[in-house]
Structures are given as structure tokens and as C-alpha cells.
Amino acid sequence: MDKGAGMAAVLSLTHRDLYREVRLFLLGLFPDAAQQIVQSTQNNQPLPDNAIVMQVLFSGNLDESVTTYNPPNEAMVQNSVEVRLQLDFYGAVAESRSRIVANLWKNYYGTENMEKCQPLYVQSHQRHPYINDSNQYEDRFILDLALQYNPSVIRAQDFAEDASVIIRPET
């Protein structure tokens, strides 16, 4: 009997979960910034004053997948994944906010305040002012952060309850 038939594969953690986790980390540091922390820039949408913009740059496996079998009808495949996340800090408080995050990212504060992922390192912390739509320079500091998370996929798996083998010698 095919007990796993029709079961869709399910991913345990997505980038959306990581955005939520990092947003909570940032809100712990900047409680007044709830309306300023946004996920990537949106077309035709102005950024809020003193915005913090989160954007996943890329991700890659840190190891080979591991499969765990869970009878009667599923298997779980897990990987450790490194994600590079860019945080852009805008406005008058950009430098101080970016420095706070850079200092606390790979600190016990960072590791204790994130559950679904863990900080690895700060790749870079740079000032990149830009010219706004009014032709004025505005401050922007960019952090390139690395984090690790361990997503798993649960999928259908058939198992045999018994097997019989008949060995017939060659004649």
C-alpha cells in the first residue's frame, strides 16, 4: 500500500521566516522603528524616514543534505544554509543604527535573540551616500551580514513492512 502517495513536500523555513526573525532582532534594538523596517525596496513606494531595508542577496548550502526516515510514510531532508543579507540604513540615524547592529550581530545578544537562524559574521560595513529625487545627498550605511539556518523538507516515503527473498542456485 502506498501510504505516502499524494503527500506534498513541505519546506520548514523560508526566506520570509528569516525576514521576520531579523525584523524582530532589529525591533529589539530599535523599538521605535516598527514602521521603518521594510523588506527590500518596493517600486513606486517611498521609503519611510530613517528606513532600514532588508534584502537577501544570495544563499548557499554549507554542507550536504542529511536524510532522516520517519516510518510509516515520510522522510526529512535537512541542509545547513548560509544566507547573505544586506541591511541598508537611511537618514540621520543611519550610522549609529548600522554600528549597533554590526557590533551586536555576532555577539551573544544576536545568538540569544534569534531562534530560526543564527548570525555568522559581518562581511562589510560601508557608507554609501546617494542622491535623492531632490538632488540632495542622503546618508546610507550598508551592512552585508551572514547568517545560518537549517531548513528541512518533509516528503513522502514508502517503507516495506516485510520482504521475502528466494535464492535459487544456478544449475
- Asked if residue 38 lies in contact with residue 86, where contact means CB atoms within 8 angstroms, the answer is no
- Give pLDDT tens digits for 12-70: 999 999 999 999 999 999 999 999 999 986 788 888 999 999 999 999 999 999 999 98
Q: Give the pLDDT score at 161.
A: 81
Q: What pLDDT sits at residue 158?
A: 86
The whole-angstrom separation of Cα 91 and Cα 71 is 55
Q: For position 1, what pLDDT does the model report?
A: 40
| CA distance linking residue 114 with residue 18, whole number of Å | 10
Please determine, for residue 162, whether its predicted confidence score (pLDDT) is greater than 90. Answer: no
Q: State pTM to two decimals.
A: 0.85
If DSSP codes are grouped into helix, strand and coil, which group holds residue 23? helix
Mind listing the pLDDT tens digit for each residue in 87-99?
A: 999 999 999 999 9
For residues 127-132, average pLDDT: 90
Q: How many residues make up the chain in this entry?
A: 171
Q: Which residue has the higher pLDDT, 131 or 3?
A: 131
* Rounded average pLDDT over 99-114: 95
Cell numbers for 170: 544456478
| 154 neighbors 76 (Cβ within 8 angstroms) | yes
Distance in angstroms (rounded) separating the CA atoms of residues 110 and 106:
6
C-alpha to C-alpha distance for 136 and 26, rounded to whole angstroms: 28
Write down the mean pLDDT value for the chain: 92
The pLDDT score that the predictor gives to residue 132 is: 81
Secondary structure of residue 139 in the 3-state scheme: coil
* Fold (topology level) of 10-156: STM4215-like (3.30.2000)
pLDDT tens readout for residues 144-159? 999 999 999 999 988 8
**To the nearest whole percent, how much of the chain has pLDDT over 70?**
96
